[in-house]
Amino acid sequence: MSEGEKIFTHALVYLGAALVVVPVARRLGLGSVLGYLVGGVLIGPYVLDLVGDAGTDVLHFAEFGVVMMIFLVGLELEPERLWRLRGTLLGLGGAQVGGSAVAVGSLAMVAGLPPIQAATVGLIAAMSSTAIAVQQLSEKGWMKSDAGQRAFAVLLFQDLAVIPMLALFPWMAGATEDGGHGSAHPLATLGAVAAVVVLGRLGVPPLMRAVASSGLRELFTAAALALVIGVTVLMGLVGLSPALGAFLAGVVLANSEYRHELESDIEPFKGLLLGLFFLSVGAGIDFAAVAANPFAVFGALVAVLAVKGLVLFGLGRAAGMARDQALILGVSLAQVGEFAFLLLGFTSALGLLPAAVVAPLMAVTALSMAAGPLLVTVAERWILPRWVATRTTREHDVEDEGAQVIVAGYGRFGQIAARLLRATGHRVTLLDVDNEQIEIMKRFGARVFYGDAGRLDLLRAAGAERARVLLVAVDDPAKALEIVRVARTHFPDLALLVRARGRVDAMELVATGVEGAYRETMDSALRAGTDALRLLGMPAHQAERMARTFRRHDERAMRDLAALRHDTGALQATARERIRLLEQVLADDASTTVPDDGWDADAIRTGQNRIT
Amino acid sequence: MGSADHQRAHLTSRPKLPSRTDVPSDARVLVLLAHPALHRSRVNGPLARAARAVPGVTVHDLYESYPDHDVDVPHEQALLLAHDVVVLQHPFYWYSTPSLVKEWIDQVLLFGWAYGPNGNALMGKTWIHAFSTGGPAEAYGPEGHNRFTLRQLLAPLEQTAKLCGMRFLPPFAIHGSLRLDTAAIAEAASRYQALLTALREGLRPRDDSHERTEVVTHWEAP
Ligand SMILES: Cc1cc2nc3c(=O)[nH]c(=O)nc-3n(C[C@H](O)[C@H](O)[C@H](O)COP(=O)(O)O)c2cc1C
């Protein structure tokens, strides 16, 4: 087999593994990262042995995915966002990295490592996997929860902490040995960093402008890739970590006008390469090392997961988090992350950690990444339901304000409705589940309570018993339906006015018998259409009447369709029929020869009307 | 012109949505035009165009300004304050005005502003109707099939003006408008212009002679 054929065969093996295993993992609710890892194990030398000795080459190649990920992390580090998260970032993030490093480091010392090595291991193990954690949090819909927000801040801190670590390890290596070997010359380092910053600031924008003016999409992609690869090469030349360079480049470009362009160009490559990275990590797990010393490896695995999880849980509770949220924080960040592979590689190159330590730690890291999603699943399936069931109303802070109207979801939609109600002197209680949103609103003087309106106890606490109207303005249709069901069942007298995304959601809501279902875009779109009619020369009053007719028919059609919505065949036939009818109606309305209008004098003139 | 040029011409002459009628500083005659379907009008459309051509006359199209009948009260009051004469131009509908005029009256002529204590904003101003009827002049009166005179039918409006301290002039009427041909409509439009010009110049019919006048069809200088 020639080299070229070999490459294609391997590509096919990797892609095939991803295509077969990842969907299954997702279906089982295990998350894609775990899928990739398992896929990697399957094609690895210990199961099917399809990759042979190419595995390590692929790993090197795939590490580039991590570099890209870090470049993107840098790109997304808007200073404002950092500033907003500064409290959690420095407090919780710092405590997590420090606490976990000390705890794991101590365990490593107990296990017999010399202090400097133990400290190194502690620092490396403190890193969590952004890829796994973010994936898990967003898959479970926890990204916006308290735990999600804080996890994000902690991950950000870790991303930032890598930079000083990359500087620290060479110095620590110097402290263990004669020093110097592998670490970069300080001047070269400074020069390279300066080069990245200056080029990013001054060189890249004109280059991008030139590329953009060429109008060739693929050139842009090429330029983005060249940028990341260029930084990687440059860093390699001076012996610095490519990740560090990529991160720097990302930060430098975070404020540039090409940020989104770069992001969308790199994103697909990152996704694919990161998948490849996880696959090769799976394939690279040294089961021989594990088998040689299974107790040490599994002991270390369990210890690391337990220590990191407990540290996070404890810190979360200390920071005032609810029990379930602290648990989510703990399980979603307990694993050791992709940075560890990088840092392990880096430190072993520095001679800071001996191969005898690095190999099993690589295995521990990979296994912990595999265990991470499992941990989350266990917590979600078996612990959280129990905690949530028994938890009291302590977690939401909702009060009964004697409101006439309860607004669930204080986003773009809820705000407008609530402002109208308040401006007209009505008592309105506001609920939301987005902490950030609540904080912002607080700054504008609006009191928004934290709490999930889908919960009966919470609605009761908000005063749903006596309120007249519940305005459901959440942007998630499934959540809206859930709130409607709970409210309908327990507060039959409460009128329900519900935001719907589109026609289908509105039909679903109408079928449940809510007092009002409002398609988000209906009113603005109709107004835009009416204005268009006017600009085309139609008198305002006629355009207005047209829009009203249109709306009336459209709404009637929706109601009729809602009744039929489960019978798809009938639904389509009726929809077609309705559209025909509506077109007919509008055509009639637009035509001056059809006497459809109260002001048609022609009919009076030709007829023998007594009025004149 | 190529299609690209054509498009560019379109963009530069981009139409704007009509905004509210500006409140002028010097005009004296305000024409409140009320026709719910001006695009179908044979009489009031040309009349309104004729009115716009008279200097110092503000034509304010109510159905164009308030297609949803949501009258901007402060704006309407400002317009009234800026003029001396209010001409209500409309087709005669169901022995009265089109419905938006009634809405306009209900919303704009507020207690404490147009009537009641201190309600003297309109005191001394002039109110006159200019309308087209479907029926001929003979149809209005005890002998006609509409049984009442036009002045009798307008009684609520006349009294509204009186309550606001305004002078109510005999309405300017165009009879039998359904059967007018183009030439007759043009002729009516110039009579309307003559009326507006006279009002603009502050000429009024003598009170005693017009108190009982049914309607005016031609402007006669006093
Ligand atoms: C709804 C409606 C009601 C009408 N009521 C009357 C009426 O009460 N008396 C009358 O003389 N003409 C009546 N007409 C005829 C209108 O006055 C006539 O169509 C109008 O003055 C013509 O003016 P235009 O061409 O500007 O629309 C009515 C017409 C319509 C459409």
**In the predicted structure, residue A252 carries a pLDDT above the cut 90:** no
Query: Residues A294, A226: one domain?
Result: yes
CA atoms A416, A422, A428, A430: torsion sign: positive
Ligand 1 atom 6 nearest Cα: B93
Same domain, A185 and A90: yes
In DSSP notation, A412-449 reads: HHHHHHHHHHHHTT--EEEEES-HHHHHHHHHTT--EE
B37 touches chain A (CB under 8 A): yes
Residue B195 falls inside a structural domain: yes
Shared domain for A383 and A337, answered yes or no, is yes
Ligand 1 atom showing the smallest separation from residue B135 Cα: 11
Q: In whole angstroms, how far apart are CA A383 and each of A14, A330, A374, A378? A: 36, 13, 13, 7
CA A309, distance to chain mean position in Å, is 22
B36 contacts A541? CB cut-off 8 A: yes
- Residue B113: predicted pLDDT: 97
Among residues A370, A349, A346, A340, the alpha carbon closest in space to that of A122 is found at: A340
Residue minimizing CA distance to atom 19 of ligand 1:
A601
Give Cα A363 to chain centroid, integer Å: 28
pLDDT tops 60 at residue A400: yes
In a domain, B3, yes or no: no
Segments forming the whole domain that contains residue A557:
521-612
Q: Could you give the CA distance from residue B71 to residue B32 in angstroms, rounded to a whole number? A: 13
Please tell me if residue A597 touches chain B, with a CB cutoff of 8 Å. yes
The lowest-confidence range among A28-32, A326-330, B134-138 is A28-32
**Of ligand 1's atoms, which has the minimum distance to the CA of residue B92?**
17
| Closest partner CB to A540 (pick from B63, B94, B179) | B63
Highest mean pLDDT among A140-154, A449-463, A522-536: A522-536
CB contact at 8 A, B217 and B170: no
| Banded model confidence at residue B41, pLDDT cuts 50, 70, 90 | very high
State the Cα–Cα distance between residues B18 and B41, nearest whole angstrom.
20
Angle subtended at Cα B58 by Cα B57 and Cα B59, rounded to the nearest 5 degrees: 115
Q: Which two tokens stand for residue A263?
A: 């992001």
Distance B179 CA to ligand 1 centre (A): 12
Yes or no: say if A145 and A322 are a contact pair by the CB < 8 Å rule: no
The residues in A 472-531 lying below 8 A from B, measured between CB atoms, are 531
Q: Is the dihedral of CA A393, A397, A402, A407 positive or negative?
A: negative
Q: Which residue has the tokens 């065949």?
A: A569
**What is the DSSP secondary-structure string of A149-184?**
HHHHHHHHHHHHHHHHHHHHHHHHHHHHSS--TTSP
Query: Would you state the pLDDT for residue B85?
Result: 96
**Residue appearing with tokens 């670590």:** A165
A188 & A250 share domain: yes
pLDDT: which is higher, A612 or A148: A148
E-state strands within A364-414? 405-408
Query: What CATH number is associated with residue B135?
Result: 3.40.50.360
> Three-state SS for B125?
coil
- What is the CB neighbour count within 10 angstroms for residue A279? 32
In angstroms, the CA B193 to CA B191 distance is: 5
Q: Say which of A540, A597, A611 has its CB closest to residue B134.
A: A611
Nearest by CB to residue A542, choosing from B37, B91, B145, is: B37
Q: What pLDDT score was predicted for residue A427? A: 92
Average of per-residue pLDDT values in chain A: 81
Q: Which residues contact B170 (CB under 8 A, 6 or more apart)?
A: B128, B151, B205, B210, B213, B214, B215, B216
CA of B94 to the centre of ligand 1 (A): 7
Is residue A517 within 8 Å of A526, Cβ to Cβ? no
Q: Is B174 helix (H, G, I), strand (E, B) or coil?
A: strand
Whether A426 and A337 map to the same domain: the answer is no
Q: pLDDT digits over A569-612, tens only?
A: 555 556 676 676 566 656 655 553 333 456 777 777 776 554 44
Tokens matching residue A113: 């490592």
B18–A545: do the CB atoms touch at under 8 Å? no
* Rounded distance between C-alpha atoms, residue B42 and residue A602, angstroms: 10
CB A407 within 8 A of CB A418: yes
User: Is A219 in the same domain as A131?
Assistant: yes
Contact A507, A562 (CB under 8 A): yes
Distance A126 CA to ligand 1 centre (A): 85
A244 pLDDT above the threshold of 80: no
B175 inside domain: yes
Question: Could you report the per-residue pLDDT of A254-266, keeping only the tens digit for each?
Answer: 777 777 878 888 8
Residues A120, A83 share a domain: yes
What mean pLDDT do residues A202-228 have?
82
Q: Which residues are paired to A499 by β-bridges? A: A518
**A250 and A149 both lie in a single domain:** yes
Backbone angles phi, psi at B127, to 5 degrees: -125, 125
Look at B39 and A592 and tell me if their CB atoms are within 8 Å. Answer: yes
Q: Do B42 and A531 count as a contact with CB atoms less than 8 A apart?
A: no
My answer on whether A180 and A114 are in the same domain is: yes
Ligand 1 atom with the smallest distance to the CA of B95 is 8
Nearest to A540 among B64, B178, B179 (CB): B64
Closest ligand 1 atom number to CA of residue B146: 9
| Residue A519 backbone phi and psi in degrees, to 5 | -70, 125
Residue whose pair of structure tokens reads 């990687």 in the numeric block: A232
Contact of B147 with chain A, judged by CB distance below 8 Å, is answered with no
Shortest distance, CA B64 to any CA of chain A (angstroms):
5
Mean pLDDT lowest among A76-80, A98-102, A433-437, B164-168: A76-80
Which residue, of A466, A496, A519, is where some domain finishes? A519
- CA-based nearest distance B201→chain A, Å: 32
Confidence of residue A190 (pLDDT cuts 50, 70, 90): confident
Q: With 60 as the cut, is the pLDDT of residue A432 above it?
A: yes
Q: Name the 3-class secondary structure at A23.
A: helix
pLDDT > 60? residue A68? yes
Range of the domain at B88: 20-220
For residue B133, give the chain A residue with the closest CA.
Answer: A612
The rounded distance, in Å, linking the Cα atoms of A378 and A380 is: 5
Tell me: pLDDT of A271 over 70: yes
pLDDT at B150: 95
Amino acid at A417: A
Residue type, B48: A
Is residue A119 a contact partner of residue A172, using CB atoms and an 8 Å limit? yes
The answer as to whether B75 is a domain residue is yes
Domain final position from A371, A390, A409: A390
> Which are the contacts of A258, defined by CB distance < 8 A and separation ≥ 6?
A204, A205, A208, A212
What pLDDT does residue A284 have? 73
Residues A190 and A292 in one domain: yes
pLDDT of residue A266: 82
Q: Is the ipTM of this complex over 0.90?
A: no
Q: How many domains does chain A have?
A: 3
Contact A611 B67 (CB under 8 A): no
The reported pLDDT for the residue numbered A184 is 54
Nearest to A242 by CA among A280, A260, A250: A250
Instruction: Give yes or no for A612 touching B (CB within 8 A).
Output: yes
Q: What is the DSSP letter of B170?
A: P
Is pLDDT at B93 greater than 90 in this prediction? yes
* Residue A215 pLDDT exceeds 70: yes
Pocket test for ligand 1, best of B33, B94, B131 (most atoms within 8 A of CB): B94
Please, which pLDDT band fits residue A54 given cuts at 50, 70 and 90?
low
Which pLDDT band, with edges at 50, 70 and 90, does B12 fall under? very low
- Cα B38 to ligand 1 centre (Å): 12
The enclosing domain of A435 has a CATH number of 3.40.50.720
Distance B115 CA to ligand 1 centre (A): 31
pLDDT in tens, A99-112: 999 999 999 999 88
Tokens matching residue A597: 């209008």
A10 and A84: one domain? Answer: yes
In a 10 Å sphere around its CB, with 0-12 CB exposed, 13-18 middle and 19+ buried, how is residue A175 labelled? exposed
Q: In this model, does residue A394 exceed pLDDT 50?
A: no
The three-class DSSP label of residue B31 is strand
CB B167, CB B124: distance < 8 Å? yes
Residue carrying the six token digits 């399809």? A50
CA–centroid distance, B95 to ligand 1, in Å, is 9
pLDDT greater at residue B7 or residue B197: B197
**Of all helices (H) and strands (E), which one includes residue A119?**
helix A115-126
Query: Structurally, how many domains does chain B consist of?
Result: 1
Q: Does A292 touch chain B (CB under 8 A)?
A: no
For A160-178, what is the mean pLDDT?
74
Closest C-alpha to ligand 1, atom 15: B134
Predicted confidence band at B132 (pLDDT cuts at 50, 70, 90)? very high
Residues of chain B positioned with their CB less than 8 A from the CB of A531: 17
- Residue positions counted in chain B: 222
Residue A343 neighbours by CB distance under 10 Å: 27
In-domain check, residue B29? yes
Which of B37, B135, B136 faces A599 most closely, judged by CB atoms?
B37
Q: Which of A336, A367, A390 is the last residue of a domain?
A: A390
A442 & A536 share domain:
no
Residue A543: closest CA among chain B residues belongs to which residue? B67
